[in-house]
Amino acid sequence: MAEPLWFTWLRRVGLTVLTLVTAVPLFVMVSSSLKPSEDVQSAFRWVPTELTVRPFIDIWSTVPLASYFANSLVVSLAATLFSVLIAIFAAYVISRYRFRGRQLFSMTVLSTQMFPGILFLLPLFLIFVNLEQLTGIQLYATRTGLIITYLTFSLPFSIWMLVGYFNTIPRELDEAAFVDGTGPVGALLRVVLPAATPGVVAVAVYAFMAAWSEVLFASVMTTEASRTLAVGLQAYSTQSGVYWNQVMAASLVVSVPVVAGFLFLQRYLVQGFTSGAVK
Amino acid sequence: MAATATPAPPARRRRTPRRPSDPAVAGRGRLLRWLPYLLVLPAVLMELLIHIVPMLIGIGMSFLRLTQFTIRNWTAAPFTGLDNYRVTLDFGGTAGAELLRSFGVTVAFTVIVVAASWAIGIFAGVLMQRPFRGRGFLRAFFLFPYALPAYAAVITWNFMLQRDNGLVNHVLVDQLGLFDERPFWLIGSNSFASLTVVAIWRLWPFAFLVIMAGLQSIPDDLYEAASIDGASIGRQFRAITMPMLRPINMVLVLVLFLWTFNDFNTAYVLFGNSVPAEAAVISVHIYQSSFVTWNFGLGSAMSVLLLLFLLLVSAAYLLFTSRRGRG
């Protein structure tokens, strides 16, 4: 099927423009992270006067980046783990059972997606502070508080997506497991889950990315000791505006794990989104 | 209660897989009846703790005079009825006028960002619908801006938009000579344009990703049949591509709208703690008026109004699109 010449040219020009627009900020990030500080203090230079890896070494001493990094890692991993576990069980039930409140639950979970974060930020802040005064359980300014908060952020999407996945797995598989004397939980763990692995992995990546990138709650719910990269990096850029090479190096370092994971799994994420959308 | 023993059964059953008729069957029946509720319980609890209860408290707070003086003992804060709402919606007063202005900024920001992101997404999607050399690479490459953590991407833009050492002024002023004076991009009236461009740069890849998936589910036969009938590319786009993308577009536009309207990260990271009024979108405005002036009651009232507005728009949108879909 031949396409007209104008379309071929439209494609070439259009995609070239989009590639440039996408590439320039990425180029700035990478090239600036390899520049000496003189290069980023004066007018912008496309080509560094010399290439240096110093910024990548300096970032760890200029600000407590390692501590931010560790906080982000612990919070994101724990939030991901719990979010995925909780979502698996909830999604299995919604996919396989007709129980009272099923509709209400699904609707409520989905609608929390549209709540503005700012609406429950203030009350959550007060709940955490008061809970501490009443019971001594520390949630405000701790990693635990952030973990609990973040795991719920990815729950709605995770549940929605896993329900879609579980629905594509034939019930006959569960029933075959029942005949073998396995209960529903066993069927979920041994039959349904292995068949839904791509979905589970995608949900995990989504949950990790959401926690790793969150700014609003991190800016209110953390203090210096529990600060995550999202807030730490921003304070860095306003504090030491002149060290842009280091800021870019730090941005690059914190981006790599997420971008790698995302590119690896984008296909599964789309499948989830569209399967939910079509239904 | 048999129900409390749920975590154990899988392991136990694995050891004795074939005992369908043991005496525990009755207890198991009860367990099976409660099992769905039990499995869904953690999700319910977490949703209650982090979303539902705080939201209800937030609605309650909007009826209180909650300032830095009463915040310590907030349960005893004076009940003021609809006062906060009155102040918020009194567009003649300072708070009301600022909110109205921020609302206007947000609407303009949302409309431009959603329309542009969707249009670029569908443009790129259609251009890349048929295989060509390098398609796989470009497809992944275009997703980078969306995959980057928001703060890393926006900080990079912040650097590029710096007046003296940023790339944007270097290109516009030094290389192209479009301005005599170096413009400020992060303060004043240019800040809205900066915010919009950064938001589109980050969001369009998502629209593209979803639209690409939708395009791939359109059968090739449709296009083949159409081109045999002599339909031009433009005609094929109108008669096949757009109708087939309808279900996906419906959800996509709603999601883009909700994300953009609630977007806090882009403005907050791009401008730091002093977001210029021209770019103070609603969530930043509420954040600043709550945590800078410590007026939580007013902040809550604004949040509730924001939620009501979003609910209303979403409901109207869903009603409208589903009716058109049937008709």
Per-residue DSSP letters for chain A?
-PPPHHHHHHHHHHHHHHHHHHHHHHHHHHHHHTS-HHHHHSS--SS-SS---HHHHHHHHHS-HHHHHHHHHHHHHHHHHHHHHHHHHHHHHHHH---TTHHHHHHHHHHGGGS-HHHHHHHHHHHHHHHHHHH----TTSHHHHHHHHHHHHHHHHHHHHHHHHHHS-HHHHHHHHHTT--HHHHIIIIIHHHTHHHHHHHHHHHHHHHHH--HHHHHH--GGG--HHHHHHHHHHHTTT-HHHHHHHHHHHHHHHHHHHHHHHHHHHHHHHHHHH-
Q: Is B161 a member of any domain?
A: yes
**Chain B touched by A94 (CB under 8 Å):** yes
- Decide: helix, strand or coil at residue B205: helix
Judged against a pLDDT cut of 50, whether residue B8 lies above it is answered with no
CA distance B32 to B37: 10
Q: Please state, in angstroms and rounded to a whole number, the distance separating the CA atoms of residues A96 and A76.
A: 30
Q: Do B246 and B322 touch, CB atoms closer than 8 A?
A: no
Q: Whole-angstrom Cα distance, residue B264 to residue B52?
A: 21
Q: Is residue A14 part of a domain?
A: no
- The pLDDT score that the predictor gives to residue B26 is 52
pLDDT tens per residue across span B194-246:
999 999 999 999 999 989 988 988 899 999 999 899 899 999 999 999 999 99
Looking at the domain assignment, is residue B68 inside a domain? no
User: Is A232 domain-assigned?
Assistant: yes
pLDDT of residue A274: 57
Domain shared by B127 and B273, yes or no: yes
Query: Do residues B248 and B159 share a domain?
Result: yes
Domain presence at residue A35: no
For the beta carbon of residue A186, count every other beta carbon within 10 angstroms: 21
| B314 part of a folded domain | no
Q: Which residue of B has its CA nearest to A12?
A: B127
How far is it, in rounded angstroms, from Cα B89 to Cα B70?
23
- Can you give the pLDDT at residue B19? 42
Same domain, B195 and B258: yes
**What is residue B72's predicted lDDT score, i.e. its pLDDT?**
66
Q: Are residues B126 and B247 in the same domain?
A: yes
Which positions 55-114 of B are in contact with A (Cβ < 8 Å)?
A: 55, 57-58, 61, 71, 74
Would you call B81 helix, strand, or coil by DSSP? coil
Q: What is the ipTM for the molecules in this complex?
A: 0.87
B164 SS3 class: coil
What is the helix, strand, coil percentage profile of chain B, to 5? 75, 0, 25
Q: For residue B79, what are the β-bridge partners?
A: B64
- Rounded distance between C-alpha atoms, residue A63 and residue A82, angstroms: 30
Count of structural domains, chain A: 1
How does pLDDT run across B281-312, given as a tens digit for each residue? 999 999 988 877 788 888 899 999 999 999 99
How far is the C-alpha of B140 from the C-alpha of A138, rounded, in Å?
A: 42
B299 and chain A: CB distance < 8 Å anywhere? yes
The answer, for B138 touching chain A at a CB cutoff of 8 Å, is: yes
End-to-end CA distance of chain B, in Å? 53
pLDDT of residue A263: 78
The reply to whether A221 touches chain B by the CB within 8 Å rule is no
**Domain assignment present for B300:** no
B319 within a domain of the structure (yes/no): no
User: B42 and B120 in one domain?
Assistant: no
pLDDT of residue B14: 40
**Residue type present at position B88:** T
Look at residue B15 and tell me whether its pLDDT is greater than 80: no
Taking chain A (279 residues) in runs of 10, the rounded mean pLDDT of each run is: 84 97 96 92 89 92 90 95 95 88 82 80 85 86 92 88 86 85 84 86 88 91 89 76 86 89 73 52
CB atoms within 10 A of CB B221: 8
What is the model's pLDDT at position B157? 96
State residue B201's pLDDT score. Answer: 98
> Within the 189-218 window of chain B, which residues sit less than 8 Å (CB to CB) from chain A?
201, 205, 209-210, 212-214, 217
Within a 10 A sphere around the Cβ of B318, how many other Cβ atoms?
Answer: 13
Q: Identify whether the C-beta of residue A269 lies closer than 8 Å to the C-beta of residue A202.
A: yes
Supply the pLDDT for residue B36: 86
The reply to whether B97 falls in a domain is yes
Would you say residue A79 lies in a domain?
yes
More confident residue, B5 or B249: B249
We report the CATH number of the domain holding residue A138 as 1.10.3720.10
The owner of tokens 């635990």 is: A144
Range of the domain at B166: 92-294
Name the strand (E) or helix (H) holding B53. helix B53-61
Q: Is the same domain home to B35 and B179?
A: no
- The answer to whether the Cα torsion of B211, B212, B217, B220 is positive or negative is positive
Cβ separation A123–B291 shorter than 8 A: no
Longest dimension (CA), chain B: 90
Whether B234 and B128 map to the same domain: the answer is: yes
Two tokens, residue A147 = 């973990």
- The verdict on B40 touching A (C-beta cutoff 8 Å) is yes
Nearest CA-CA distance, residue A84 and chain B, Å: 10
- What pLDDT score was predicted for residue B12? 39
C-alpha distances in Å from residue B46, one per residue of A74, A148, B49, B55, B58: 19, 8, 5, 13, 17
User: How many domains does one find in chain B?
Assistant: 2
For residue B32, what is the enclosing H or E element? Answer: helix B25-47
- Inform me whether the C-beta atom of residue A256 falls under 8 Å from chain B C-beta atoms: no
What pLDDT score was predicted for residue B76? Answer: 74
CATH number reported for the structural domain that contains residue B225 in this entry: 1.10.3720.10
Establish if A201 belongs to a structural domain. Answer: yes
User: What pLDDT, in 10s, does the model give residues B105-132?
Assistant: 999 999 999 999 999 999 999 999 988 9
B102 and B244 belong to one structural domain:
yes
Evaluate whether residue A38 is within a structural domain.
no
- Residues 99-118 of chain A with CB under 8 A from chain B are 99, 105, 108-109, 112-118
Task: Find the CB nearest B55 among A119, A189, A259.
Answer: A119
Contact A92 B74 (CB under 8 A): no
Place of tokens 């461009």: B197
The answer to whether position A17 is within a domain reads no
Q: Which among A192, A184, A183, A175 has a CA at the least distance from the CA of B19?
A: A183
Contact between B153 and B240 under an 8 Å Cβ cutoff? The reply is no
- Tell me the per-residue pLDDT of B146-193, one tens digit each, with 9 for 90 and over: 999 999 999 999 999 999 889 999 999 999 999 999 999 999 999 999
- Domain residues for the domain of A226 are 69-245+259-278
Dmax over CA atoms of chain A, in Å, equals: 74
